[in-house]
Structure 1
Amino acid sequence: MVTYGDVRKWRPKPLDDAERALKRKSDRLLGLSDEYSDMGTPARWIGDAARAAQETRKHITNRMEWLVAGVSATRTALAKAADAIGGLRSGVEEAETLAHKHGFAIGGDGAIADVALPQNVPADQRDEVQRERERIWFELQDRVEQILRRASDIDNDLATVLHKVATGQIGDGGATNLAAAAAAGAKLGWLSTVEPPPGKGSPGDNAGWWDTLSADEKNWIIANRPDWIGNRDGIPFTARDQANRRTLAWEKQRLLAERNRLSQYARTQHARGGSATDVEARLRFLDEKLQSIKAIEGALAKPGERQLLLLDTSSERAEAAVANGNVDKADHVAVFTPGLTSNVGDSLGQYDANMAQLKYRTEGELGRYGDGGSVATVSWIGYQAPQIGETIGDPNSVVTQGAAERGAAKLAPFLQGIDTARDSDAHVTAIGHSYGSTTTGLALRQNTGVDEAVFLGSPGVGTSNVDDLKVPDGHATYIEAKSDPVGDLGRFGKDPTHLPGMGQGSSAEANLPDGRHLSGVTGHTSYLEDGSTSQYNTSVIVGGMPERMVRGDNRGLGDHPELWGMRQ
């Protein structure tokens, strides 16, 4: 059984050296191929001796072909194992670096030990520090598990090939010359590409698995099995984007082909005077999915860097997440989750535009008053948000918490996967609007590593105790516009306006100390309107400058200047 201590010692060089030595011998054998082929029985030599010579030559030729096939299989297996161990080494180094950075150590048995507990932590930061350490501990545990899984796979695959060579089980595939035998043997020396962790895997599992793969294996997966990684939290978002774009093209072609087939069937039925009601319902379903794909394509085609972080057409309505900017590299990342009526086909375009504006405004504030860092914003429609027309008895109804709970189960690992997939942590903000704020609040009851939370026009964040939200104390903010009836419902927990510990941001018209004027918003749908106070407040929070927020009372009096001010 392979141990973590064993894997620490693994290096690809001995395997590379052995492969090169075999290559030299293989090249010598192949070099003799033409010469040996030219050695035939003299044309006038007949009789028993001639026949014996022919049989001997045939036996030697077959033996050489099997020998070359075995050498070739061994060379291939050694080269692939060396390449795989190079990837495995990267996974070990990632785990060791993460452990050292946070004061942990990984033992030879794979156990995670806390060796440098932070000292003199201020009392108001202890919960936050403890949460972060727990998150890292579990991530390290997952990474070690995947390292050992990958190491066992490499070990077993290489041992299997070598055993087959040693016991003569590697054949020449019926080759009639040495070159063909070498090619046949090479095919039998390939190692398997280990599949992702079972199920969806935790972000730590997925990151640990991906980090153990070689560059060739990663490229093969993106090209041939994009479904393995497109929606797998913890995988770098650049790779997810490449995989999902590939899947998007395939899925579009599949849906179009099915639509054409059903359309032809429906026309035939109508021509015969028959009914095609079921087929027509299926065609409407396909049209909705194709409309969603069109919306995704439109968002990805807009100026600026875009990433397709999530794509799922298997549910009743398509689910997707599109980023403005590079989530793997941005200093600040914001994830926006919408609510009632949100769906990819009808809503993604507007949300993507809002997120593009928010990114631009946040980077502007960072240029004026912050660290000048980069920003990525994400429109996350990764769940089946309630729709108009769903009855009270529907499990997805807006009057129940079911859809939010199911959405939170998907949103939480997505949020956690942001830092897990990166070499360095981002400053992460979760933004939820309307029913999406309930979804966001429920997701934040898990340890996601989110640094800031912004709730817009919320019917409740899924709790009546702000301490249930696992974000740093004082870093959850509520913004409610005048004349927003949803913001006063308090259906899913206490009205956030009256939730102790919840910060209150203004949505009213305001003038900033630097002379800029911000417009006010009213109602339920304009919180991210460009140039508004609510958008400004969201932008400074996303940029890690909540002290610059225009504060508000949010009790229907937010338009009164005496109730807000700049924090100093």
Structure 2
Amino acid sequence: MGRFRRTLVAAALTATVVVGTAGWASGSSQLPVTGPPVGTAAWKAAGLPDPARMTVGRTAAYIAGLSPERQRELVRNHPDVLGNLDGVPLALRYAANSRTAPAAFAGQQVLAYDPRGRGQAVLVYGDLATARHVAVIVPGSDTDAGHLGRLVQKATALREATGGRTAVIAWAGYTTPVGVGIDAASGELAEAGADRLVRFTDGLRAVGAAEPAVFCHSYGSVVCGLAADRLKAKDLVAVASPGMRADDVAALNTTARVWAAKDATDWIDRIPNVEVAGIGHGTDPTAPEFGARPVPAAEARGHDGYFTPGTDSLRAFAAIAEGDDLR
């Protein structure tokens, strides 16, 4: 009976989205990528510590205790593991991932690359080691290592809007839903993504990067909502959100400033803000009762227009990334 109820609710939510988005097709079910990186068996066979048992802090301490020669050896022999361990110094991760990432990433600062499933990648724009301000963009559905175009556009637009002062991270570091279907309506992929996002921000702190402002687009805001109470962030910005799986800001249990943006032309506004039997994501973060700080978005258009150069929303995002208050 419970399963039947979940199916009915999911069907109703999906139908609402399909009608509201001119027939966007339902998506296929995805399995989240979890666990230690590819190459872990060879890493452990070489007598190296099990990544699955290492906290970010222990990872940072272990790598810091190695000689430069030993660190370079790990880059050569175990790049698939080293490049994906949060807490490893930035330069080592960039060097490792330059060996494992496909040719399409040549010349980019690749902070993580995981080929499993549809593939995940984390790209950095700017000098993450020295930037006074850092922003992380967490994308929604249909984003993976082979489909980064829109995410990269958002990241580069935000960096340019800050005059190049903010280092921006395009974080395609979790398994996103494909299209609109049960995955997009449920929180299972978001729960797995939240764990990965928390570990990632722990890793930023471990290598001395500035505490980030995290911009969470669409389903990415569900990820951020589930991670909020553990996330090392100074700001959380819910953009085009279907809900954050919280009734209000207080329920997020975060010390970060919480913001929300939604434009009047965004189809996400047609999504029912309910959560029943694990389906749906709850209160609209732009609703007054949620208590988030409003972000102007009158000049944004559609579901993906918030980072468009020249819009009020992008100007506001740049100000938030640099620690300003819009009030």
Whether TM-score is above 0.5 comes out as: yes
Structure 1 residue 309 corresponds to structure 2 residue 91: no
**Deviation >4 Å, runs of 4+:** none
1:359 to 159, 173, 178: 159
Between structures 1 and 2, the one with greater helix share: 1
Give 1:401's aligned residue: 187
Give 2:217's aligned residue: 433
Residue 309 of structure 1: CA displacement? 0.8
Task: Give distance in 1, aligned partners of 2:234 and 2:211.
Answer: 6
Residue 487 of structure 1: CA displacement? 4.0
Structure 1 residue 414 corresponds to structure 2 residue 200: yes
User: Per the alignment, do residues 495 and 235 of structure 1 end up closer, same or farther by CA in structure 2, a change over 3 Å counting?
Assistant: same
Task: Give distance in 1, aligned partners of 2:263 and 2:98.
Answer: 38
Residue 388 of structure 1: CA displacement? 2.0
1:463 to 234, 240, 246: 246
What are the ranges of 5 or more consecutive residues in structure 2 without an aligned counterpart? 1-44, 274-279
The answer to whether the 8 A contact 1:238-1:307 is kept is no
Give 2:173's aligned residue: 382
Task: Give distance in 1, aligned partners of 2:193 and 2:153.
Answer: 23
Identity %: 29
Give 1:345's aligned residue: 146
Query: How many residues are matched?
Result: 275
The answer to whether the 8 A contact 2:190-2:226 is kept is yes
Task: Give distance in 2, aligned partners of 1:382 and 1:330.
Answer: 21
Residue 413 of structure 1: CA displacement? 0.5
Question: TM-score normalized by structure 2?
Answer: 0.78
Pairwise mapping of residues 366-377 of structure 1 onto structure 2 (< 5 A)?
Answer: 374-377=165-168
What are the ranges of 5 or more consecutive residues in structure 1 without an aligned counterpart? 1-191, 249-292, 365-373, 509-519, 550-566
Structure 1 residue 527 corresponds to structure 2 residue 309: no
The answer to whether the 8 A contact 2:211-2:232 is kept is no
Pairwise mapping of residues 67-216 of structure 1 onto structure 2 (< 5 A)?
Answer: 195-199=48-52, 201-216=54-69
- Of 337-346 and 433-442, more deviation after overlay is shown by 337-346
Residue 404 of structure 1: CA displacement? 0.9
The answer to whether the 8 A contact 2:297-2:311 is kept is yes
Residue 314 of structure 1: CA displacement? 1.8
User: Per the alignment, do residues 487 and 410 of structure 1 end up closer, same or farther by CA in structure 2, a change over 3 Å counting?
Assistant: farther
1:329 to 108, 125, 130: 130
The answer to whether the 8 A contact 1:307-1:326 is kept is no
The answer to whether the 8 A contact 2:121-2:144 is kept is no
Task: Give distance in 2, aligned partners of 1:413 and 1:488.
Answer: 33
Task: Give distance in 2, aligned partners of 1:534 and 1:245.
Answer: 34
Give 2:5's aligned residue: none
SS of the residue aligned with 1:321?
strand
RMSD: 2.1
User: Per the alignment, do residues 239 and 487 of structure 1 end up closer, same or farther by CA in structure 2, a change over 3 Å counting?
Assistant: farther
The answer to whether the 8 A contact 2:285-2:291 is kept is no
Pairwise mapping of residues 213-224 of structure 1 onto structure 2 (< 5 A)?
Answer: 213-224=66-77
Larger radius of gyration: 1
Name the amino acid aligned to 1:494: T
Pairwise mapping of residues 474-493 of structure 1 onto structure 2 (< 5 A)?
Answer: 475-487=257-269, 489=271, 490=273, 491-493=280-282
The answer to whether the 8 A contact 1:331-1:427 is kept is no
Task: Give distance in 2, aligned partners of 1:406 and 1:355.
Answer: 23
Structure 1 residue 242 corresponds to structure 2 residue 92: no
Task: Give distance in 1, aligned partners of 2:235 and 2:119.
Answer: 28
